[in-house]
Chains A and B, each alone.
Chain A
Amino acid sequence: MRQLLLLLACAALGCPAAPAPKRAVLYPITSAPPARRLEVVSKDDQHAITVSSGVAFGVSVSDSCDPLSPPALEIADPNVLREHRLGRHGAKREFVLVAVRAGKTRVTIRAECTTQTYEVTVVPQ
């Protein structure tokens, strides 16, 4: 009986919208030099970066969290991939990633409301 009343109430008033999924993604803001690779995949089922060693690239992080809380990046193996902040006023969501040598590692976005991990493959030159 209670479920029937809830159903009728939903039908009359409209059901509450499902909360928006919390997400964080990064996307490149620079490209690789000629003959070198840089691919960033941000799909629901795949988050991956493939980059040639020796390449540096800028990334910007976008998330659905508090816009006043800038995200942080965490690198699992800094011997493979290094991270720097961008020295620019107001660039709190932009970073520079440096592919140091061939190997695999992970980069994790730590946003205020969620985290997202990218599998990183640094391919040899």
Chain B
Amino acid sequence: MRRLPAAFVPFAAVVALGCGGAGGRPDASSMAVMPARPQCGALSLACVGQKLDAPIALGSTLELDVRYQIAGSSGPPTTLETADPSVLVLDGSHLRAVGAGLSAVLFLGPDKTVIDFLHLWVEPATELRILRYSSAGTLLGRVQSSVKLLVHDELLVSVEPFAKGQPLIGNFKLETTVAGNSVAIVPDSVSGFHRVVARSPGPSQVKLAALGLSTEWTIEVQP
């Protein structure tokens, strides 16, 4: 493949994920816009998506936050266009993953010329995992299917889709059902996170459902 000369490389772009839904990888501040890397754009022009490190879960949505670093100019007005609408559909600034496979996403300038493009994969999720984070948003690890808490304990968790062990990205509606009164599960102010609060001694059974999958979580709160 021929690489373009450096003189043709006047800018770089960054794409970050917006996590507006209740399920999916949380949008912690430490995971916001990442610095550009010069080799990750398809045209060797732009770095688009260090956070686009996995396929998108089928049935989820993804918001692309396009930012540029152009010598001598601010970022130009940009519109998006998908190559294969049977895989990815554009819904405002959101991409909807409607079919398994791959589609290019083009970043078009004001004159409809292509500034750059990237390829996104869509994969059906096979599993939902509950992951625990610190209050600073650092991933601590996978939550076990059965846990014990003390009254007033709090866990910060997210429910994230995986496909055959590989994490997927995307936002989706998460349905939470709690049987029992010992815990409360409330969405955190940072989208994607949920706070699990132990309120009183006793057992609770939590069911989490999204993307056609579900997972159960047994919590026992001790006095």
Chain A interfacial positions (CB closer than 8 Å to B): 27-31, 33, 36, 52-58, 60, 82, 84-91, 96, 98-101, 125
Contacts and interface: CB of A to CB of B under 8 A. Distances in A.
B185 to A, nearest CB: 38
Given A33-B102, A84-B106, A54 B113 contact: no
Interface residues of B, number: 27
A87 B119 contact: no
Contacts, number: 81
List of 8 A-B pairs having minimum Cβ-Cβ separation, nearest first: A87-B113, A56-B104, A54-B84, A33-B119, A87-B109, A96-B114, A125-B101, A54-B103
B108 A84 contact: yes
Contact of A30 (B1, B101, B108): B1
B87 A54 contact: yes
B84 A53 contact: yes
Contacts of B84: 53-54, 100-101, 125
A86 B83 contact: no
Nearest to A36: B102
A54 B83 contact: yes
A53 B66 CA distance: 25
Contacts of A52: 102
17 contacts: A28-B1, A29-B1, A33-B119, A36-B102, A54-B101, A55-B119, A56-B119, A58-B43, A60-B2, A84-B106, A84-B112, A84-B113, A85-B112, A85-B113, A88-B10, A96-B117, A99-B83
Given A85-B113, A87-B111, A125-B87, 8 more contacts: A29-B2, A53-B83, A55-B119, A82-B83, A86-B114, A88-B115, A101-B86, A125-B101
A49 B167 CA distance: 34
A86 B103 contact: no
Contacts of B147: none
A86 B109 CA distance: 10
Contacts of A87: 108-109, 111, 113-115
B2 A96 contact: no
A38 to B, nearest CB: 10
A55 B108 contact: no
Interface in B5-59: 8, 10, 42-43, 45
Contacts of A54: 83-84, 87, 101-104, 119
